[in-house]
Structures are given as structure tokens and as C-alpha cells.
Amino acid sequence: MGTGKPAERFCLGIESTADDFGVGVAAFDGKILANVTDGYVPEAGGIHPREAARHHSEVADKVLSEAFAKAQLKPKEISLVAFAQGPGLGPCLRTGATVARALSAYLGIPLVGVNHSVGHIEIGKLQTGAQDPLTLYASGGNTMVTAYASGRYRIFGETLDIALGNCLDVFAREAGIKNQKGTPLGAAVELLAAKGEKLVSLPYVVKGMDMSLSGLLTAASAALKKGERLEDVCFSLQENAFSMVTEVTERALAHTEKKEVLLTGGVAANKRLQSMLEVIAGEHDAKFSVVPQKFATDNGAMIAWTGALAYMNGLTTPVEESFVKVRWRVDKVDVPWVKTL
Ligand code: ATP
Ligand code: FE2
């Protein structure tokens, strides 16, 4: 006879949508037991997808072993393997998917394909306790305002061109801003912006519920070439870009009447963006929360936790349906685990 103690259940999650290869382990009750990431740093310029994918395959075994050690679990104690199935860069996604399929087959446990954007939202909710928030998800590849309605996260507004993080990163590269290894360029822009004193005139483009950031990026780079101080341009770029996303978030908040606002994705680390959103949330009597920094940028824990949620609600991904989805919008994903009040 056993002791009657139910077996604990754990999900291992693999994140490899872009420059980071991450492995997380989540218990089915929401405890995060491990969250290990190894980032690919390009020699120069932006991410080269095939080089990033090569990095991921080179570090996969090391990151996996570290995650098992951190979680103090043996591979056979894992009940489920989740992987980021999209959206993201094809070669990077395929590397993570291959590792996930191999583990699932070897261990004889189910596989779950997770939408990366849903992962950013779910880890934000788990870490902050938000139940049914209006979420601004702002990262290097995505900028959208979403909220749950009728079975899915619906998009209320989004960028029409480049993402907020990408806008900051490209500006920083064009301006020759150097960051320390391991610190994001967006964070370097934030530091410079804090020393800005003058608001340089730059475009502000909100169309309906969507925003456009590419003209702002071009104008910011041009202002620098015309002799404006770097600190002032960083400050003005942030003020304009963040005001645009805050305006859209506020209008979505007024429309949906949600009582919580959640900021998630890599750009969530930015204190100025946090303070702008905190103000509009307060004006609408909504509780504002921000995903903690270590779960803001891409990480395996968010994939592990979202995989556990999906599995506990009866969803798995048969291997023949585990092909990666480079453009997989958040509003195409059923999220049957979401329960609103
Ligand atoms: P996604 O696939 O979700 O679009 P991603 O690969 O861009 O994600 P994230 O790790 O979610 O990855 O976000 C990275 C972005 O966050 C980068 O553009 C980076 O510059 C930005 N970022 C990080 N810290 C800050 C900060 N303090 N201020 C502004 N931007 C930041
Ligand atoms: Fe991301």
C-alpha cells in the first residue's frame, strides 16, 4: 500500500523563440523550481537567426542539466515537456522543438506546444497574482494590449510596424550606445534617458487603437545626427513611445473596464514606462502590477507554467502537430484554463 500522498507533477519548459535558450521547471501548483537561461550575443548588429539557433543547440544540454540540478529533480520525475511553438524565428524555434520532442519521446511523457505571448501573460499573472488583467505585453518583437474575452486573449491595440523594444534597440545601435554584456540595450537607453533635460520634438502616431513606432525611430536617429544631445533624444524617444502605448492601454482599460493592469515582456523592466501605466491604472481604479524582472525577458519558466496550465485542462500536442508556428497570434490560441471572476 502506498502512503496515499499524490504524486507531485512537474512540467519542464523550453524557450527558444529568439536569442535566449531557456529551460524552466514549474510544479503544477505554480511553484517555479528552476529557470535557467543562456543568451546568444551577436558579434555585431541584430540577431542572426541561424547563428542563434546554433548557439541554442550548443548550450541545450548544459542548460537542461543546470535546470534539473536547480530543481533537484531527475529527468524521470518530469511529467510533461512544454516548448515555445511560436511566434518567433524559425531556426531558433525548431531547435527548441527538436529538443522537446526528443525529451518527450525518451521519457515517454506528453508534449505541449505553448504560445510564447501567452507565456509572457501567464507568468505575469502567476508572479503578481493578477486574475483578469488588461495586459500590455511589450518586448523586442511584440507590442500589444490584450485582455481575456470569450475563451481567448483578444488584442485591443498593437503596433502597426516595429515593437517597442526593437525601436529602442535599433535606436541604441544606430546611436552607437554600448551596453555591458548581458544588459539589454533598452536598459542602456533608460539610463541615458534619466539624464535627459529637453523634450525634442518627435512624431507621435496613434491610429485608432494601434500605434506606429518606425517614424519615431527614424526621427530620433535624425535628431541625433542634427546635433541634439544623446541623453535628450533618449529621453524624448522614451516619452513619445511610452505615451503612445500608455494612451492605447488607457483607452482599452476604459473600454474593457478591467480592474487590473499588468505590464509584461522585456520592456516591463523600464521604470518610466511602469510609472506612466501606474498613473492611468490609478485613474481608472485598477490595480497595477509588473512582472518581476527575472520573468520579464524570455524565460523557460513561463513556458513550463503555461504548459502545465494547458495540460491540466486537457491539452497536449501530438508530435505530428508539433511543427513550429513562426507567426502565431495570441488571439488564435484557446486558453480554457482562464477563469474570470
Ligand atoms: P518577444 O519574442 O516576446 O517579442 P524578445 O525576444 O524581444 O521577445 P524579451 O526578452 O521579452 O524578448 O524582451 C527584450 C526587449 O526588452 C529588448 O528589446 C530589450 O531592449 C528590452 N528591455 C529590457 N530591459 C529594458 C529596459 N530597462 N527598458 C527598456 N527596454 C528594455
Ligand atoms: Fe518574449
DSSP per-residue codes, 95-113: HHHHHHHHHHHHHT--EEE
Whole-number Å distance between alpha carbons of 130 and 151: 17
The DSSP symbol for 7 reads: P
Q: Where are the alpha helices (DSSP H) in the chain?
A: 49-71, 90-107, 116-128, 164-174, 185-193, 214-225, 230-256, 271-283, 300-312
Q: Which residues contact 322 (CB under 8 A, 6 or more apart)?
A: 83, 85, 97, 100, 101, 111, 113
Mean pLDDT value across the chain: 95
**Percent of the chain whose predicted confidence (pLDDT) is above 70:** 97
Question: Residue 291 corresponds to which amino acid?
Answer: V
In tens, the pLDDT along 110-120 reads 999 999 999 99
Per-residue pLDDT band for 89 (boundaries 50, 70, 90) equals very high
pLDDT attached to residue 95: 98
Residue 2 has pLDDT above 50, yes or no: no
Whole-number Å distance between alpha carbons of 244 and 213: 9
**Mean local confidence (pLDDT), 323-338:** 97
Atom nearest to 19 CA in ligand 1: 6
Going from the Cα of 341 to the center of ligand 1, the distance in angstroms, rounded, reads 31
* 37 Cβ closer than 6 Å to some ligand 1 atom: no
* 267 Cβ closer than 6 Å to some ligand 1 atom: yes
Atom nearest to 140 CA in ligand 1: 7
In tens, the pLDDT along 145-203 reads 999 999 999 999 999 999 999 999 999 999 999 877 778 999 999 999 999 999 999 99
**Mean local confidence (pLDDT), 95-119:** 98
Residue 39 has pLDDT above 60, yes or no: yes
pLDDT attached to residue 207: 97
pLDDT attached to residue 180: 77
pLDDT attached to residue 43: 77
In tens, the pLDDT along 272-318 reads 999 999 999 999 999 999 999 999 999 999 999 999 999 999 999 99
* Smallest CA separation from ligand 1 atom 10, residue: 297
Residue 339 has pLDDT above 90, yes or no: no
Tell me yes or no: is domain 123-295 CATH 3.30.450.20: no
* 186 Cβ closer than 6 Å to some ligand 1 atom: yes
Write out the CATH class of domain 10-120+297-332: alpha beta
* 269 Cβ closer than 6 Å to some ligand 1 atom: yes
* 165 Cβ closer than 6 Å to some ligand 1 atom: yes
Q: Could you give the residue range(s) of every CATH 3.30.420.40 domain in the chain? A: 10-120+297-332, 123-295
The 20-27 sheet, strands edge to edge? 32-39, 20-27, 10-15, 80-86, 111-115
pLDDT attached to residue 6: 53
- Closest to 186 measured CA to CA, from 262, 243, 241: 241
Residue 3 has pLDDT above 60, yes or no: no
Write down the pTM of the prediction. Answer: 0.95
Say if CB 23 and CB 12 are below 8 A apart: yes
**CA-atom Rg of the chain in angstroms:** 20
* 304 Cβ closer than 6 Å to some ligand 1 atom: no
* Smallest CA separation from ligand 1 atom 14, residue: 266
Residue 1 has pLDDT above 80, yes or no: no
pLDDT attached to residue 204: 98
pLDDT attached to residue 7: 65
Burial of 185 (0-12, 13-18, 19+ CB in 10 A): buried
The Cβ-side half-sphere exposure at 317, using a 13 Å CA radius, reads: 24
